[in-house]
């Protein structure tokens, strides 16, 4: 005698009408994001989908940053996901940050290394903008490159646009990274910011990468 749950024909299979679209969107998201651990990422994807949270999905397929000496898996696209998920708060609970980092299949050791740059490892919370700046510094080879990544993530301009951010935010990020670097004279910092001020006044208080990457701007570091 066959088990009671044996299927005798296809008509007995009840497929929820929304399932095909859910699986289609999930497949497209996985292709764009290219997670290192598909099972771990899938669990995070469906947990976020179920709770209505921001999905751990890249906007597009991307390659690892060429300036990195080794492929750590960290990319601007993954950092952009973290920014969407966490930037609604000024300070982020460390446990939540670790959870979101793990969801993106990023190495725990790399997170700990970043946190040690400003002794965040010993704290229960981390200021999001400062953490973002530190992660950008691991993507870029110098402060200028780190600030360019930060502009592209923080901007409200469309992708491929000017990547403008408020000069006040730029100043905060630049001074913070300079403090972490520890070898940039205060006169150099103020000189670079002063030189940018004239451009900023023409752009409604906004600064963009082409301003501080221009040969007309004094070196940031």
Give the pLDDT band (50/70/90) at residue 4.
low
b/e sequence 163-173, b meaning 16+ C-beta within 10 Å: bbbebeebbeb
- The two three-digit tokens of residue 73, written as one number: 């898996």
State pTM to two decimals: 0.86
Residue 67, pLDDT above cutoff 50: no
Q: Which two tokens stand for residue 177?
A: 């990274």
Q: What residue ranges do the domains of the chain occupy?
A: 72-127, 140-221
- Contact at 8 Å (CB) between 74 and 135? yes
Average pLDDT, the chain: 90
- Lowest average pLDDT, out of 25-29, 64-68, 114-118, 210-214, goes to 64-68
Percentage of the residues of the chain whose pLDDT score is greater than 70:
90
Mean of pLDDT values over 44-61: 95
Reduce the DSSP state of residue 206 to 3 states and report it.
Answer: strand
Average pLDDT over residues 85-89: 95
- Eight-class DSSP state of 158: P
Structure confidence by residue, pLDDT tens digits, 13-49: 788 889 999 999 999 999 999 999 999 999 999 999 9
Q: Lowest mean pLDDT of 45-54, 97-106, 136-145, name the range.
A: 136-145
- Comparing 66 with 115, the larger pLDDT belongs to 115
DSSP string across 129-169: HHHHHHHHHHHSSSHHHHHHHHHHHH--SPTTS---EEHHH
Averaged pLDDT for residues 149-154 = 96
Start-to-end C-alpha separation, the chain: 79
**The pLDDT value given to residue 72:** 60
Please check the confidence at residue 107 and state whether its pLDDT lies above 60: yes
pLDDT number for residue 2: 56
Give the bridge partners for 125, in sequence order.
Answer: 93
């Amino acid at each position: 005698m066959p088990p009671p749950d044996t299927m005798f024909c296809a008509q007995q299979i009840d497929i929820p009408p929304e399932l095909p679209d859910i699986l289609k969107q999930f497949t497209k998201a996985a292709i764009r994001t290219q997670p290192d651990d598909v099972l771990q990422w899938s669990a995070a994807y469906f947990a976020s989908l179920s709770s209505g949270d921001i999905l751990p999905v890249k906007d597009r397929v991307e390659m690892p940053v060429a300036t990195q000496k080794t492929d750590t898996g960290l990319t601007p696209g993954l950092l952009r996901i973290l920014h969407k998920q966490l930037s609604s708060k000024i300070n982020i609970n460390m446990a939540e940050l670790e959870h979101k980092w793990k969801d993106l299949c990023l190495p725990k050791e790399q997170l700990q290394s970043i946190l040690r740059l400003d002794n965040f490892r010993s704290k229960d919370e981390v200021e999001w903008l400062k953490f973002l700046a530190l992660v950008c510094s691991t993507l870029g080879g110098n402060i200028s490159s780190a600030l360019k990544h930060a502009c592209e993530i923080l901007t409200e301009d469309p992708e491929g646009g000017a990547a403008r951010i408020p000069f006040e935010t730029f100043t905060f990020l630049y001074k913070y990274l300079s403090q972490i670097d520890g070898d940039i004279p205060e006169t150099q910092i103020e000189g670079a910011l002063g030189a940018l001020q004239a451009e900023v006044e023409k752009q409604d208080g906004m600064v963009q990468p082409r301003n501080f990457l221009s040969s007309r701007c004094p070196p940031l570091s």
